[in-house]
Structure 1
Amino acid sequence: MTLLELEGVTAFYGPVQVLDGVSLSVPEGGAVGILGANGAGKTTTLRAISGTVRSGGRILWEGRDIRNTRPDRVAALGIAHVPEGRGTLGGLTVRENLRVGAYLRKDRKAIDADIDYCLDLFPNLRERVRSNGSALSGGEQQMLAIARAFMAKPRLLLLDEASLGLAPSTAKSVFDAIRRLRVESGIAMIIVEQNANLAFTLVDSATVLETGRSVLDGPTAELKGMDEIRRAYLGG
């Protein structure tokens, strides 16, 4: 079953067109990567989905067009966005940040259980559970941002550059946790990631953007075998 489908999506920042015909499809429980050079439109694609930039074309959620829906209503549909830069609430503790993630939920007992699950998923956060977000390392803030998004119990998670600025060992730990989260929760994911080698360990398929257009897509195994993909993204 197709959960989300983008058909010829366009987007502008003022007079500047950033997306010009982006198309991709995410099945229920699937994971899709978005690759491309800086400025290709990867982040804008996620913003178009989450309703934080005006867009054209069609963005179909279970067959219904949600293009230009307000961000809070997109979130209520079950789409959680972890933006580049993390956005940790620095004045709140780790536990308080997690509770903020669950603000739309009413199942309080389940919220407590999910907080415990997040602290198990990211043991560093359990050790810092009473610390303010501003006191966390960059890697811990990224873990917290992902865990906070999970607390909304989304059906689709948008992850923008989860490894950006992290040491390789920390980035691997973060992606190991994301992989476990996907397997155990069944959450579908769209992953924008500068480290294609990391992304390809997690996604089933990927779309390549160039200057705001979808120019290539396919299963992970197929893309990894292409010379142009290896040269551009895999260091081959």
Structure 2
Amino acid sequence: MTLLELVDVTAAYGPVQVLESVSLEVPEGGAVGILGANGAGKTTTLRAISGTVRTGGKISFDGRDIRGLGPDKVAALGIAHVPEGRGTLGQLTVRENLRVGAYLRKDRKAIAADIDYCLDLFPNLQARIGSSAAALSGGEQQMLAVGRAFMAKPRLLLLDEASLGLAPSTAKLVYEAIGRLRKESGIAMLIVEQNANLAFSLVDTATVLETGRNALTGTSAELKGMDEIRRAYLGG
């Protein structure tokens, strides 16, 4: 079953057109990657879904047209966005950030259990539970951003450049935890990632964007086998 569908989506910032025609599908429980060079429209695609940029075309979630909805209404439908730069609340503690992620929920016992799950998923955060988010390392902030998104109990997680600025070993830990989260929660994921090796370790299919349009789409195995993908994204 298709959970998210984009058909010929366009997006612009003022007079600057960034997305010309982007189409993709994310199945229920699936994981889809978006690859592309800087300026290709990857981040804007996620913003179009979240309702933070002016769009055209079709964007539907669980069969409902969501194009034009505000970010709060999109989030309430079950879409959580982890933006590039993480967006943690620096003045709040780790625990407080996680609780902010659950602000629409009323199930207190389940919220407490999900906080415990996040701390098990990201053990680094357990020791920093009372620390302010601003005091965390970049990797810990990324872990917290993913954990806070999970606390909303979304059906779809939009993840933008989770490895950005992280040491390779830390990025690998973050992606291993995201992979576990996907397996254990069944949350569907749409993942923007410069590091194609990390992306391919997690996603089932991916699309490559060039200047705001789909250039290539295929399974992870198909794309990894293409010479142009190896040269551009896999260092081969």
Matches within 5 A, 1:47-66: 47-66=47-66
Unaligned segments of structure 2, at least 5 residues: none
Report the 3-state secondary structure (helix = DSSP H, G, I; strand = E; otherwise coil) of the residue aligned with 2:202: coil
Query: Aligned partner of 2:233: which letter?
Result: Y
Partner of 2:106: 106
The reply on whether 1:205 has 2:232 as its aligned counterpart is no
Q: How many residues align?
A: 236
Matches within 5 A, 1:142-157: 142-157=142-157
Report the 3-state secondary structure (helix = DSSP H, G, I; strand = E; otherwise coil) of the residue aligned with 1:46: helix
CA deviations 1:8-36 (Å, max 9, x no partner) are 00000010000010000000000000000
The reply on whether 1:89 has 2:89 as its aligned counterpart is yes
- What displacement does 1:228 show? 0.7
Report the 3-state secondary structure (helix = DSSP H, G, I; strand = E; otherwise coil) of the residue aligned with 1:89: coil
Say what the alpha-carbon RMSD is for the aligned residues: 0.5
Partner of 1:216: 216
The reply on whether 1:191 has 2:198 as its aligned counterpart is no
Partner of 1:9: 9
Query: Aligned partner of 1:37: which letter?
Result: A
Partner of 1:230: 230
Report the 3-state secondary structure (helix = DSSP H, G, I; strand = E; otherwise coil) of the residue aligned with 2:124: helix
Partner of 1:130: 130
Instruction: Tell me the distance in 2 between the aligned counterparts of 1:214 and 1:76.
Output: 29
Instruction: Tell me the distance in 1 between the aligned counterparts of 2:62 and 2:121.
Output: 29
- What displacement does 1:215 show? 1.3
Report the 3-state secondary structure (helix = DSSP H, G, I; strand = E; otherwise coil) of the residue aligned with 1:177: helix
Give the fraction of aligned pairs with identical amino acids, expressed as a percent: 83
Query: Aligned partner of 1:232: which letter?
Result: A
Deviant stretches of 4+, over 2 Å = none
Instruction: Tell me the distance in 2 between the aligned counterparts of 1:170 and 1:68.
Output: 37
Query: Aligned partner of 1:160: which letter?
Result: D
- What displacement does 1:65 show? 1.2
Partner of 1:19: 19
TM-score, normalisation: structure 1? 0.99
Instruction: Tell me the distance in 2 between the aligned counterparts of 1:215 and 1:62.
Output: 26
Instruction: Tell me the distance in 2 between the aligned counterparts of 1:100 and 1:89.
Output: 9
Instruction: Tell me the distance in 2 between the aligned counterparts of 1:94 and 1:67.
Output: 33
Instruction: Tell me the distance in 1 between the aligned counterparts of 2:215 and 2:77.
Output: 29
